[in-house]
Structure 1
């Protein structure tokens, strides 16, 4: 009996051991991987720029004539421009830096006459003759380097000038949805300072953290002229300055904290094009860059194994490349099983409700490499679109989104406002 008991125990132990081995064999092996998301956008500081000119030949703006142009702007953004005082050696009109105020303190748009923000400036490159039609161009060069200086009633050579607001009328019209129309009227006719205005340039700077990225894009008072402004001030030629401003104009956007989802299944667990937002938190990511609500919801979904919200250590958001410096980057080590797929999403920060997300079947967790080509840019359909980076209702520009209800769709490129770089030149996603 004793031998039989011990024998039975031995058999039972062997059975438990074998069962344990079979259970472990059934568990899929895990492998480690590291996912990295980077903002690789080579950003520009100006969101918009352009030119204006008269309708005649040459295309100057004569006394009694007007010229208009339109642009988009958000709170804290300013409009600046420059045009030559035509019957001078090197004088130009421009607003006081950083430019014309476009919104009141209560957030309402500024409309009507804004002429009091315009000044007359001396470029400092030519000796001033008495202003008028007899001025010889280009005239005598200044001895040595002089800085740009406001002409406040009288220049350095004793010539008198009326205030700029007596010669130029500047007015703003608000067209809705962050769009303004700006009109310059030449009212110098019959004054002691009658003059044509030359063709001109204008621009709007991006704002980040409440600050202009390029607050003095055309001139700096008390500093030497630069970037082609001399050609405007002396000859009314906008070619060089327009080229410079065009090079500084383009795309700037941060990427919000990044949502990373590991799941098993045939479909992305939080969005599908052609469907409306599901009310699970994607709206908060797309409009405000807040991925936490969607992350919390996804943790309760069947098939979702892990959810991460990756925040850049220094700034929380992933800033683009600025002045050659690298953009923001986040990484996360992952434990992956066979069949795992990885979905990624982040907000196009300077939009109303655009978001980047992996497409198709998302990222195969068993593969390694650069998966940036799988990323698409989508309109969440929950907020009215405005000019990216110049929309008064964009949450990241101190606005409140205007709600709408449309299906999620890819953002066309070019879109109705601008042309974006290739997505792979904005966001990079790698799995190693």
Structure 2
């Protein structure tokens, strides 16, 4: 994870201090931590038919709209209704939605759908006369290819469920699932189902098997889908692991004696002094060099995390990254920071207003806001093809710097203090 998360040159802390006679300074230590309790799935949801019960009958279809970055995939699961415990799903990690060049894939992707045995019930001959729940067994999940373990025959899953991808632009896709089993030897309704998209971090998916794992026992509520067509338990599980994952770029810290925050101004266009590279790519070098030249700026630091450079969030039981820097400040000095919301197009965290009193002690996290630099077209955070830290190239726009709404058009974010913690001691 540490080698490919952030395509940046190495950062080295540096300070620019003004010369001249000054009153005695006091020592402060600023500590910044990524405290986000990250989740592995960027998006997830459910689908079902329109009737009651909400089955997807032969000839009917459902659609799933989602966003994805290069390397991410969509997985789903739905019951082969006229079976004891069979379900349809693509092979892990799911249906790829971009080719190796980053071009969106469109058209028929049915060949990626497989039929799976949940391993919890002996199979009867498939059809409307299957008796539920059937005889229990205890096996691992396995693919059904031609026949099941009891010798019942099945035509390929791609001849029972048709999957079609449509690219809607700006990293959005529509996956259409159509029940085409009517008139075949394996005619069946499809149950309500679930779907999921995993984050990709450093070239690896955080959850490469989000719904099931071949060769492993069923888990997390999948049995309810495979045996009963009930997507509730698995939906509850995946909802609980869907949310936000983002690193923070090396932290820019500035101590100044002026009356205006020198990093940014809301309501104004990015002036081109280096905030755009920070907000789009996490590179604070240009802005730090500019801040050194401003009257009233006493010191500037860029603080990378040890080993990883970026500040990683909490991942499972692994604590998030932390950086610290000793500061020498004067009475009346102000302090401000800035860091990129890594899995975005141009969002950045920064101290609001005219910074904070640099001589205060304690937790100053409540002074941090999340802002849109207005320099790049927005996409779903963590699932955008033009996001720099997901191997993309930002697409330019020109809008005033503004706070990021929450909820926003893509998702609901945790409160800022649950993502970044800043203390002065």
Q: Alignment length, in residue pairs?
A: 405
Deviations 1:358-411 (A, max 9, x none): 012212112111100000000000000000110110001000001000000000
Aligned position for 1:425: 418
Report Cα offsets for 1:271-325 as digits up to 9, x if no partner.
1000110101000000000011111111111111111000000210001101132
Q: 2:26 pairs with 31, 37, 42, which one?
A: 31
Q: CA deviation at 1:349?
A: 0.4
Residue 37 of structure 2 is matched in structure 1 by 42
- 1:65 and 2:68 aligned: no
Alignment of 1:151-230 (within 5 A): 151-230=144-223
> Is 1:55–2:50 an aligned residue pair?
yes
Unaligned runs of 5+ in 1: 1-25
Q: Is the 8 A contact 2:108 2:164 kept in 1?
A: yes
Correspondence for 1:101 among 96, 99, 116: 96
User: Which position in structure 2 is the counterpart of 1:18?
Assistant: none
Cross-structure match for 2:9 = none
2:341 to 345, 348, 366: 348
- The CA distance in 2 between the partners of 1:42 and 1:151, in whole Å, is 38
Q: Work out which of the residue numbers 126, 131, 143 in structure 1 matches 2:126.
A: 131
Tell me, in whole angstroms, the C-alpha distance in 2 between the residues paired with 1:277 and 1:201. 42
Are 2:212 and 2:222, in contact at CA under 8 Å, matched by a contact in 1? yes
- The equivalent residue for 1:20 is none
Q: What's the counterpart of residue 383 of structure 2?
A: 390
Q: Distance in 2 between matches of 1:312 and 1:152?
A: 49
* 1:371 equivalent in alignment to 2:371: no
Task: Give the conservation status (yes or no) of the 8 Å contact 2:160–2:180.
Answer: yes
Alignment partners' CA distance in 2, 1:207 and 1:263: 38
- Output one character per residue of 1:137-194: Cα deviation in whole Å (capped at 9) or x when no partner: 111111xx20000001011111110010011100000000010011000111111100
1:11 corresponds to: none
Q: Are positions 1:400 and 2:393 aligned together?
A: yes
Distance 1:367 1:154 in 2: 71
Tell me which residue corresponds to 2:15: none
> Of Structure 1 and Structure 2, which has the larger fraction of its residues in helix?
1
Displacement, 1:249? 0.3
Deviation track 1:34-66 (CA, whole Å, cap 9, x = no partner) reads 000000111111010000000111110111111
TM-score normalised by the chain length of structure 2: 0.94
| Separation (CA, whole Å) in 2 of partners of 1:332 and 1:295 | 15
Please tell me whether residue 409 in structure 1 is matched to residue 402 in structure 2: yes
Distance across 2 between alignment mates of 1:114 and 1:403: 32
**Residue of structure 2 in register with 1:231 after alignment:** 224
1:322-369: per-residue Cα shift (whole Å, max 9, x none)? 113210100000111122111100000000000000012212112111
- The ranges of structure 1 where at least 4 consecutive aligned residues each deviate by more than 6 angstroms after the TM superposition are none
| Distance apart, 1:252 and its partner CA | 0.6
Q: Is 1:140 equivalent to 2:135 in the alignment?
A: yes
CA distance, structure 1, for counterparts of residue 30 and residue 263 of structure 2: 19
SS of the aligned residue for 1:197 comes to: coil
Aligned position for 1:248: 241
Q: Which moved more, 1:360-369 or 1:229-238?
A: 360-369
Retained in 1: the 8 A contact 2:28–2:359?
no
Do residues 358 (structure 1) and 357 (structure 2) align?
no
Q: TM-score, normalization: structure 1?
A: 0.93
Distance 1:197 1:306 in 2: 63
Could you list the per-position Cα deviations for residues 93-117 of structure 1 after superposition, in whole angstroms to 9, with x for gaps in the alignment?
0000000010011211000000000
Determine the structure 2 residue equivalent to 1:273: 266
Partner of 1:5: none
| Structure 1 residue 27 displacement after superposition | 3.5
Equivalent residue number for residue 8 of structure 1: none
Instruction: Spell out, residue by residue over 1:194-244, the C-alpha distance to the aligned partner (whole angstroms, 9 max, x if none).
Output: 000000000000110011101111000000000000000000000100000
Q: Say which SS state the counterpart of residue 234 (structure 2) adopts.
A: helix
Structure 2: distance between partners of 1:367 and 1:73? 43
> Which residue of the partner structure matches residue 21 of structure 1?
none
SS of alignment partner, residue 287 of structure 2? helix
Match of 1:10 in 2: none
